[in-house]
Amino acid sequence: MDINFLKGKKIGITALDLEQKEHRGIAAVTKSLINLLSKYGAEIYLITSLGSKRSGIFSEAIIKKKLLQEIYISDILSSLQEGNNYREKFQTDLIYKIKKVIVLFFKTFKLFFSDFKVSYKIFELNSSHISTNVYDKRLEYVKDIKGFVVSKNIFDFCRMSSMRILPKMPKLLIKKSELDLIITSSPLSIRNKSKNHTKIIQVIHDAIPIQVSKHPEHPITFYNKLEDAHRSSCLYVSNESKRIVRDILEIKNRQDSTTNVLNPMPSLSLELLNEAKNVKKIRSIDKPFILFNSSIVNRKRVENAISYFNKSTLNDDNFLLCIAGKLHSNKYCAFIKDICKENKNIFLLDYVNELEKVWLFLNSSLLISTSSAEGFGVPLLDALSINLPSLATNIPTYREIKSLKHNNKLTLLDQNQDLTWIENLNKVKKFKLEDSEEKLERIEHFKNFINKLEHKVLLNINSHFD
């Protein structure tokens, strides 16, 4: 394979998960994909539903194109920086809900009369936009993008299609002269019309909203979304996700291919690792610690990690358990807070920024993951990439991660083997926060790991170009 195949290629990537207030696993996968494609010469355009907060519907018709671009780009970057929890806002903010319904009611009429074709504008980024509006590690990925494809309410229309409120899927008809390829960061009810328009590839992460009872996504809506996504070419983040999703959708007798599995890249970056190695401490962490890094939801079984830590000798050995993940206002997070309040050696860090997350991985003695189900498992991949010792549940996706590198420090244990988990924790070796040599070894390991994994990922993407 010629690794220069991406040079000059224009690739659109949907920004739905980057628009969220909380950047979770899918957002991490999206950012690492943007970085990889940009590194090898692709020009990346984020496909976003965000518009301008300052230009009105009528004024847009008379504003000069250059001025409109400046307003749009600064407002989009501001919105990406701030983030939004659309689901929560729709459920709790009555005024927002009423406005949203009214706007979509009228825009849906327009969509009907345009044969479900969504309109879009393309804006180019320059260094001035970035230097003026990007001031936080949250938007570190912006340096790797060329511009935005703005299609207002596109993700609302996709969701309405998944809910079967719309009788047809919205059409994103972008000319091949404008984009060579479109990648959805997660499954969407969207399509192109013909081979004359840019090909759409849909990334499928899992079927967890169907499999997990307490997931906020409605299972039927998510099923419809998966079904619609499979009208395009699909890439699965793991063989296990591919098996489960295709089984649920009852996809049979379709020619199998190894190039439709796209293992994510680690969410850590060399730039942030080098920056983190010079940071002495964060959040008052000044003792050896083990790390739990994940969203705080039931299927992650955070209580198991806490229980194993409490029953191990790590407390007596002056270890900390650092739990990094957004604490939401729900019963499960309240339960986790309650069982941690008596132990001063357990730090509930809540949401951590990019630099803090990288520092935690670089300085941790061990990563622990007690999850019962995963589409892939980026935190475990992050640990593998720097050769950080890890204890994790023996689930199929974690076995896939373990197979990526021989002679790794990942130990997989069955969920019901409590004593074995505790015994393994008792053997954890302290990582000294001041050990700069060990940090350099981890960074060097990361460089070698990334080089090998990149080739495999690029090979799979190359196979989907026309």
Indicate whether 278 belongs to any domain. yes
Range 203-218 average pLDDT: 92
DSSP 282: S
The answer to whether residues 277 and 439 touch, using CB atoms and an 8 Å cutoff, is: yes
Do 183 and 314 fall into the same domain? no
Do 317 and 439 fall into the same domain? yes
What pLDDT does 434 receive?
84
> C-alpha 250: how far from its chain's center?
27
Indicate whether 119 belongs to any domain. yes
What pLDDT does 397 receive?
95
Do 115 and 46 fall into the same domain? yes
Most confident segment among 134-138, 205-209, 259-263:
205-209
Indicate whether 57 belongs to any domain. yes
Hey, CA dihedral for 401, 405, 407, 408, is it positive or negative? negative
Indicate whether 389 belongs to any domain. yes
Greatest alpha-carbon span in the chain:
70
> For 164-183, how does the pLDDT look when each residue is reduced to its tens digit (9 = 90+)?
999 999 999 999 999 999 99
Do 365 and 422 fall into the same domain? yes
* For the chain, percent of residues with pLDDT exceeding 70: 97
Last residue of a domain, one of 237, 260, 283: 260
d(CA 377, CA 320) in angstroms, rounded, equals 23
What pLDDT does 119 receive?
93
Give exposure, 176-196, as e/b (b: 16+ Cβ within 10 Å). Answer: eeebbbbbbbbbbbbbbeeee
Do 160 and 203 fall into the same domain? yes
Indicate whether 110 belongs to any domain. yes
Model confidence band, residue 58 (pLDDT cutoffs 50, 70, 90): low
Do 135 and 274 fall into the same domain? no
> For 154-165, how does the pLDDT look when each residue is reduced to its tens digit (9 = 90+)?
999 999 999 999
What pLDDT does 254 receive?
61
Higher pLDDT, 302 or 213: 302
Do 278 and 235 fall into the same domain? no
Q: Name the least confident of 76-85, 149-158, 352-361.
A: 76-85
Beta pairing class for 366-369 and 289-293: parallel
User: What helix, strand, coil percent values describe the chain, rounded to 5?
Assistant: 45, 15, 40
Indicate whether 395 belongs to any domain. yes
Range 236-244 average pLDDT: 94
Beta pairing class for 366-369 and 233-236: unpaired
Do 115 and 242 fall into the same domain? yes
Token pair for 411: 């130990």
Angle between helix 219-229 and 154-162 (nearest 10)? 110
Residue 64 pLDDT > 90, yes or no?
no
Range 262-271 average pLDDT: 92
> For 310-331, how does the pLDDT look when each residue is reduced to its tens digit (9 = 90+)?
999 998 899 999 999 999 889 9
Do 250 and 276 fall into the same domain? no
The CB-based long-range contact list for 395-398 (8 Å cut-off, 24+ gap) reads 395/371, 396/238, 396/239, 396/240, 397/238, 397/240, 397/241, 398/369, 398/374
d(CA 201, CA 242) in angstroms, rounded, equals 15
Work out how many domains the chain is built from and give that number.
Answer: 2
What pLDDT does 259 receive?
63
Domain that holds residue 349: 270-450
Residue 214 pLDDT > 90, yes or no?
no
Residue 128 pLDDT > 70, yes or no?
yes
The answer to whether residues 138 and 354 touch, using CB atoms and an 8 Å cutoff, is: yes
What pLDDT does 30 receive?
95
The answer to whether residues 425 and 307 touch, using CB atoms and an 8 Å cutoff, is: no
DSSP 53: S
d(CA 270, CA 276) in angstroms, rounded, equals 10
Beta pairing class for 147-150 and 121-124: antiparallel
Residue 1 pLDDT > 70, yes or no?
no
Range 245-253 average pLDDT: 89
Between the alpha carbon of residue 371 and those of residues 164, 303, 376, 412, the distances in Å are 32, 10, 11, 11
Do 277 and 423 fall into the same domain? yes
Q: Which residue has the tokens 């850590």?
A: 268
Residue 446 pLDDT > 90, yes or no?
yes
What pLDDT does 436 receive?
87
Do 427 and 371 fall into the same domain? yes
The Cβ of residue 105 has, within 10 Å, a number of other Cβ atoms equal to 9
Last residue of a domain, one of 225, 260, 295: 260
Model confidence band, residue 215 (pLDDT cutoffs 50, 70, 90): confident
Model confidence band, residue 57 (pLDDT cutoffs 50, 70, 90): low
Residue 59 pLDDT > 70, yes or no?
no
Indicate whether 460 belongs to any domain. no
What pLDDT does 257 receive?
62
What pLDDT does 61 receive?
67
Backbone angles phi, psi at 17, to 5 degrees: -80, -25
Give exposure, 142-175, as e/b (b: 16+ Cβ within 10 Å). Answer: bebbbbbbbbbbbbbbbbbbbeeebeebbbbbbe
d(CA 336, CA 370) in angstroms, rounded, equals 14
Indicate whether 96 belongs to any domain. yes
Range 370-375 average pLDDT: 92
What pLDDT does 365 receive?
97
pLDDT, the chain, mean: 92
CATH code of 445's domain: 3.40.50.2000
Do 195 and 282 fall into the same domain? no
* Residue among 176, 144, 184, 180 nearest 44 (CA): 144
